[in-house]
Amino acid sequence: MSSGLPAGVSLRAEAAWLDAADQLAGVRDRFVLDETTVYLDGNSLGALPATVPDRVADVIAREWGELRIRSWTESGWWEAPERIGDRIAPLIGAAPGQVVVGDSTSVNVFKAVVAAVRLAAADSRSRSRSRSRDEILVDATTFPTDGYIAESAARMTGRTVRPVAPAEMPGAVGPRTAAVLVNHVDYRSGELYDLPAITAATHAAGAYLVADLCHSAGALPVGLDEHGIDFAIGCTYKYLNGGPGSPAYLYVRREHQPRFDSPLPGWNSHRDPFAMTPDYAPAEGPARGRVGTPDILSMLALEAALEVWQDVDIAAVRTKSLAVTDFFLRCVEASAPAARVAPLTPADHTRRGSQISLRCADAKRVMGELIARRVVGDFREPDVLRFGFTPLYTSFTDAERAARVLGEVVS
């Protein structure tokens, strides 16, 4: 997204020109935003879509208040986990019938990792292999919860966890590997990892890949079906704007669904849930990933939030993401002393998600001052400033103002 402006034009003027040419600029109006604030924390909590308040009010007043129990059938509550999963599917490169919404990201990581280990064990038995696949490879830079869950899954299944840097995973996976758990985008640095290459190496070794998409879904193309990824999980309150604590999702590749052995079989994932039988018979399709009663209020808020994606091309989102983060880096370079802030996020587009992380010696104080001046990002210990760029509503003017205020604070 080149400006084409003559040399010497100010960054503020260039930002205005880029906003005027931005094909996604109109989508910003679909959100509730305070125009006096630059909000660059959508990688932690997305902004409120304008369609959500009225929808939630209707769910509470009419579907719950008037229809009550009838809404499970008359308002489509029962089918919501799969219906909303199909709304998310195209945003992560999946065909319908492979995504189910519900539970938290942590719970879904547990389901996916244990299911992957069980698939690998079944493969070994069917091929009469004497050596079992006794290790789970985990992204060494992962969000802490993923590591905690992997350790618990390993204890439960008699495996061990081996932390490996994502760049080294293709060479580390081998005949002992049952499953690989990797983040698509690093939550600290914003680095985008080569998920297709890691998946290909995992499959070549006979193991299964579990991808955490929390920091990529809704910000860039993922291509789950295209790249043969086995399982994927992710939250919906970041770039998907589903609201605080909105339910997560679980992707189970279609070919694995008949053998998906969830460690959390609940009545909602039973083939005949209302039969209330003591024996468990798993449902067909993505419903096999359900557990208990869906959290309907937050689930239907998420469904309304996903309406902002109507007519939005995820490829255009990626183009905007790279353009606005490039522009922000240029503005930071022009505004802030290099001795005070240094980019942590790779400049290479093939290795960048949709956030920019900067190293800053007193990051906590600096972020506090930025927020006081109505530029909202966040920080991670010990010295990382994080700025999340949500292409649906972050403008180039936002990027220029944030960098300019950052320069004032650190100078």
pLDDT tens figures, 376-408: 999 999 999 999 999 999 999 999 999 999 999
Beta strands in 320-365 (DSSP E): 341-343, 355-360
Q: Are strands 355-360 and 341-343 parallel, antiparallel or unpaired?
A: antiparallel
Mean per-residue pLDDT for 78-88?
98
Q: Is the pLDDT of residue 46 over 90?
A: yes
pLDDT at residue 111, rounded to an integer: 98
Strand partners, 182: 211
Mean per-residue pLDDT for 170-190?
97
Mean per-residue pLDDT for 22-30?
98
Contact 334, 271 (CB under 8 A): no
Q: Which active-site residues does the annotation give?
A: 143, 212, 237-238, 386
Mean per-residue pLDDT for 136-157?
97
Q: Which of the listed CATH numbers 3.40.980.20, 3.40.50.620, 3.30.70.980, 3.90.1150.10 matches domain 11-32+313-410?
A: 3.90.1150.10
Which H/E stretch holds residue 177?
strand 177-183
- May I ask the CATH architecture of the domain 57-309? 3-Layer(aba) Sandwich (3.40)
pLDDT at residue 4, rounded to an integer: 65
Strand partners, 282: 270
Q: Where in the chain is the domain with CATH 3.40.640.10?
A: 57-309
Q: Is the pLDDT of residue 6 over 70?
A: no
3-state secondary structure of 385: strand
Mean per-residue pLDDT for 203-221?
98
Distance CA 308, CA 27 (A): 7
pLDDT at residue 125, rounded to an integer: 86
Q: Where in the chain is the domain with CATH 3.90.1150.10?
A: 11-32+313-410
| CA 371 and chain centroid, separation | 24
Strand partners, 233: 212, 250
Mean per-residue pLDDT for 50-64?
98
pLDDT at residue 5, rounded to an integer: 72
Mean per-residue pLDDT for 211-216?
98
Question: What is the residue-averaged pLDDT of the chain?
Answer: 96
pLDDT at residue 3, rounded to an integer: 52
Distance CA 59, CA 8 (A): 54
